Amino acid sequence: MLRIQSEFVEGFGALAGLGPAISVFGSARTKRGSERYLQAERIGELIASAGVAVITGGGPGAMEAANKGAVNGGGVSVGLGIELPFETGLNEWVDLGVNFRYFFARKTMFVKYSQGFIVLPGGYGTLDELFEALTLVQTEKVTGFPIVLVGTAYWTPLLDWLKNTVVEEGAISPPDLDLIRLTDDIEEAVDIMVNSARPNGFVAAD
C-alpha cells in the first residue's frame, strides 16, 4: 500500500513543474536505424522544437528514439520507466526519469502530464496504452485529448476491425471511432497535438 502511494507521490513530485508535454508510445523492439526508429526520433525532435516536452516509457526502441529526438531538438526528455524482470533500465536519452514498479501508477502519469498521445506501431504495451487513453476520452475522464496513430498500413486493419466488428456488434458507437486520428504525416501528428493546447490532466481535480 505504502509502496503504491509513494509511486504516486514520487511521480507527481518529479513531474509537477514540467509544463506542456506530449506522450509518444511505440514498440520497445523498434530497431535502431530502422525507418520507424527514425520516424519516432523525428517526432521527438518536432515536439521539442515546438517547446513541448516529450514523455515516453523510458525504454528501448521507439521510446528511446523519441527521447533522442527530444534531446537533439533541445527539449525536455522524460522517461517513465517500468521495473521488469528482464530489466533494461532507462534509455540513455532520458533527462528526467522516474521508475515505477506498477503499470497503473505509471499510466496515470502519462495522462496527467501530457496533452495527448502519439502512438507508433507497437505490441501489447502500446495497445494497452492506446486503449486506456481511448477509454478515458470516451468516458470523458479526460477531455480535448487527441490520440494520433502514426502508420496507416499498420493501424488500418485494427481500425477496420473496430468499424466492421466492434461498431457492428454495438460495443462502441460510430462517433467513438472519431476519437482516433490516423496519419503517416508526422508533422501533422505533432501539429494536432501542439494545437490542441489543452491544459494537462484529468477533468476532475485528481
Ligand X SMILES: CC(C)=CCNc1ncnc2c1ncn2[C@@H]1O[C@H](COP(=O)(O)O)[C@@H](O)[C@H]1O
Which residues in this chain contact ligand X in the complex, by CB under 6 A? Answer: 25, 27-29, 57-60, 63, 81-82, 84, 88, 122-126, 129
Give the torsion through C-alpha atoms of 140, 146, 151, 152, to 10 deg: 70
Q: How far is the CB of 159 from ligand X (least distance, A)?
A: 17
CA separation for the pair 133, 168 (Å, rounded): 22
Whichever of 86 and 205 has its CB closer to ligand X, that residue is 86
CA separation for the pair 70, 19 (Å, rounded): 15
Q: Which residues contact 155 (CB under 8 A, 6 or more apart)?
A: 121, 149, 182
Q: How far is the CB of 102 from ligand X (least distance, A)?
A: 13
Whichever of 161 and 164 has its CB closer to ligand X, that residue is 161
Whichever of 23 and 115 has its CB closer to ligand X, that residue is 23
Whichever of 73 and 81 has its CB closer to ligand X, that residue is 81
Q: How far is the CB of 173 from ligand X (least distance, A)?
A: 27
Q: How far is the CB of 47 from ligand X (least distance, A)?
A: 15
Residue 30 · residue 37 · CB < 8 Å: yes
DSSP assignments along 172-199, one per residue? S-HHHHTTEEEES-HHHHHHHHHHH-PP
